[in-house]
A = this chain, B = another copy of it.
Amino acid sequence: MPVLPVLPRDGKEPAPVQAYQAIRDAIVRVELEPGQRLSENDLASQMGVSRTPVREALARLRDEQLVRVVPQLGTFVSRISVAAVGDAQFIREALECAAVRLSAERAGPSDHELLEELMVAQERTRADGDLDAFYHLDDSFHHALCDLSRHPTVWTISQRAKSHLNRIRRLSLEVPTYLPEMVDEHRRVVDAVVAQDPDAAELALRYHLRQVLRELPHLREQRPDYFEQAELV
């Protein structure tokens, strides 16, 4: 019985986007498990708002395929679809790799400094193993990498596309050897960007992104109930 936070009344963000972020995070953290049933009424009372903002949040999550809503029946956390993960991976790779090429060309010394700071923060969590903290640092890193291309929308769209992938990312962190390797891979990307070498940056990033799918077969046999059984026709 996972608990969603009660939305603060004075939040600067409007209620629907707060609800959206809260539910989204819970799904990605797999606190709300794939296949689990969600009730608009329950969510609304848990968060201390009415159904209206919850519905708006669920509509966005439905657009991202994170939930499946069946009229007059219920709303369900969608199971992880291998096909959807593949699509998301493809899109993420196309967008981030294109962006990092520009970033390598455009980034200046202050940008390089920012990247270094993010690397230091990652190194720090290497030891203590706070997975959620690292997950967010990882996001921040890729976000920064995208924004340096001066196309801020890229990150927004990428976020929208890779919801399915995010659960794999989060679950993969449980594998002990995975986290430090990621930091090393980030390191290589940063080096290439600092060297202003677009080709090397794209190559390093592409390699890094592909690693995410490494654990997928293992996860799939470990928790088959998290995944869509067969791709129905």
Contact with B along A76-88 (1 / 0, CB 8 A): 0000000010111
Interface membership of A60, Cβ < 8 A? yes
With A93-B98, A94-B95, A98-B93 known as contacts, the answer to whether A152 contacts B56 (CB < 8 A) is no
Interface membership of A161, Cβ < 8 A? yes
- Complex CA–CA separation, A64 to B91 (angstroms): 18
Q: Point out the residues of chain B lying under 8 angstroms from A90, CB to CB.
A: 98-99, 149, 151, 154
| Min C-beta distance of A232 to chain B, whole Å | 15
Within 8 A of B (CB), among A79-137: 84, 86-88, 90-91, 93-95, 97-99
Q: Point out the residues of chain B lying under 8 angstroms from A161, CB to CB.
A: 153, 157
Q: Point out the residues of chain B lying under 8 angstroms from A154, CB to CB.
A: 87, 90-91
| Min C-beta distance of A169 to chain B, whole Å | 17
Within 8 A of B (CB), among A19-73: 55-56, 59-60, 63, 71
Q: Mark A residues whose CB is within 8 Å of B.
A: 14, 16, 55-56, 59-60, 63, 71, 84, 86-88, 90-91, 93-95, 97-99, 149, 151-154, 157, 160-161
